[in-house]
Amino acid sequence: MPVLKQDHGMSEEVRPGLTRRIIYTGNLMTAVLDFTDGPWEDAEPPHSHPHLQTSYVAAGEIIFYCEGEPEQHLKAGDMFAAPSGKKHTIKLLSKTARLVDSFNPLREEFIP
Amino acid sequence: MPVLKQDHGMSEEVRPGLTRRIIYTGNLMTAVLDFTDGPWEDAEPPHSHPHLQTSYVAAGEIIFYCEGEPEQHLKAGDMFAAPSGKKHTIKLLSKTARLVDSFNPLREEFIP
| Contact between residue A57 and residue A35 where contact means Cβ atoms under 8 Å apart | no
The pLDDT value given to residue A8? 86
Q: Which residue type is seen at B84? A: S
Given a cut of 90, whether residue A65 has pLDDT beyond it is yes
The pLDDT value given to residue B112? 86
Longest pairwise C-alpha distance within chain B: 40
Given a cut of 70, whether residue A66 has pLDDT beyond it is yes
Chain B environment of A6 (Cβ under 8 Å): 75-78
**Among A25, A26, A54, beta carbon nearest to B23:** A54
Chain B contact for A9 (CB, 8 A cutoff): no
The pLDDT value given to residue B10? 87
The pLDDT of B27-39, averaged and rounded, is: 98
Q: Which one of 3.50.50.60, 2.60.120.10, 3.40.50.1820, 2.10.109.10 gives the CATH number of domain B10-110? A: 2.60.120.10
Residue of A10 and B26 predicted with greater confidence: B26
Model confidence over A22-60: pLDDT tens digits? Answer: 999 999 999 999 999 999 999 999 999 999 999 999 999
* Contact call for B81 and A53, based on CB within 8 A: no
Residue of B63 and A10 predicted with greater confidence: B63
The pLDDT of B50-56, averaged and rounded, is: 98
The pLDDT value given to residue A5? 94
The pLDDT value given to residue B41? 98
**Pairing mode, strands B12-15 and A88-92:** unpaired
Chain A environment of B28 (Cβ under 8 Å): 28, 52-54, 81, 102-104
* Contact call for B32 and A79, based on CB within 8 A: yes
Q: What is the 3-state secondary structure (H, E, C) of chain A?
A: CCEECHHHCCCEEEECCEEEEEEEECCEEEEEEEECCCCCCCCCCCECCCCEEEEEEEECEEEEEECCCCCEEEECCCEEEECCCCCEEEEECCCCEEEEEEEECCCHHHCC
pLDDT-based confidence at B7, cuts 50/70/90?
Answer: confident
Q: What is the 3-state secondary structure (H, E, C) of chain B?
A: CCEECHHHCCCEEEECCEEEEEEEECCEEEEEEEECCCCCCCCCCCECCCCEEEEEEEECEEEEEECCCCCEEEECCCEEEECCCCCEEEEECCCCEEEEEEEECCCHHHCC
pTM above 0.95, yes or no: yes
Chain A contact for B83 (CB, 8 A cutoff): yes
* CA nearest neighbour of B60 among B73, B44, B46, B41: B73
Given a cut of 80, whether residue B1 has pLDDT beyond it is no
Backbone angles phi, psi at B6, to 5 degrees: -55, -40
pLDDT-based confidence at A2, cuts 50/70/90?
Answer: confident
The pLDDT value given to residue B22? 96
The pLDDT value given to residue A1? 58
